[in-house]
């Protein structure tokens, strides 16, 4: 039986809470609410915790944001694809710029494309109301802002030698 890392669960919970509270700082672009803090949290989860925890935290944060009325159904595809790609990129090679690009591509392109059917089938929007690529641009703006902030934060942690200590502490 696989041992659950309580430290990782606690860190994921804290980062999830940061994403939910951070969604108070969102701005509308076309048909979606852009919440860059969610994307910052996705990258932090990917780097500190790995892809599984990143997806889990993205899902729980999206669910809580919807329950609390702080987000829309677009939060699910808009965060989970980016979290997955960022986590896989970091796990595979530990390259931070590639991890940031994974988040941006996963959220803006894959999440944006998957948001289209969600908008039509679950939110009742007509195809005439929204263009097929209507969610790619807002998701790109949101995820790029979050990637920049998280990149600065992670590079600062790395420069001062804190990043490796945090990662080692969470993996014990």
Cα 10 to Cα 7, 55, 106, 163, 171, distances in angstroms: 5, 15, 25, 17, 13
pLDDT in single tens digits along all 172 residues of the chain: 466 689 999 999 999 999 999 988 877 776 566 778 999 999 999 999 999 999 999 999 999 999 998 877 778 888 999 999 999 999 999 999 999 999 999 998 898 888 777 777 766 666 546 655 677 888 888 899 999 999 999 999 999 999 999 999 998 8
């Amino acid at each position: 039986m696989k041992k659950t890392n309580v430290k990782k669960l606690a860190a994921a919970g804290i980062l999830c809470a940061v994403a939910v509270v951070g969604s108070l700082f969102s701005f509308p672009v076309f048909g979606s609410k852009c919440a860059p803090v969610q994307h910052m949290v996705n990258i932090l989860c990917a780097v500190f915790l790995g892809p599984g925890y990143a997806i889990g935290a993205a899902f729980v944060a999206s669910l809580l944001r919807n329950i609390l009325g702080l987000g829309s159904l677009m939060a699910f595809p808009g965060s989970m694809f980016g979290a997955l790609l960022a986590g896989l990129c970091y796990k595979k090679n530990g390259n931070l710029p590639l991890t940031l690009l994974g988040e941006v591509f996963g959220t803006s392109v894959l999440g944006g494309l998957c948001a289209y059917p969600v908008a039509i089938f679950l939110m009742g929007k007509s195809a005439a109301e929204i263009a097929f690529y209507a969610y790619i641009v807002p998701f790109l703006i949101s995820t790029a802002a979050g990637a920049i902030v998280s990149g600065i934060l992670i590079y600062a942690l790395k420069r001062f030698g804190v990043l490796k200590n945090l990662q080692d502490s969470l993996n014990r």
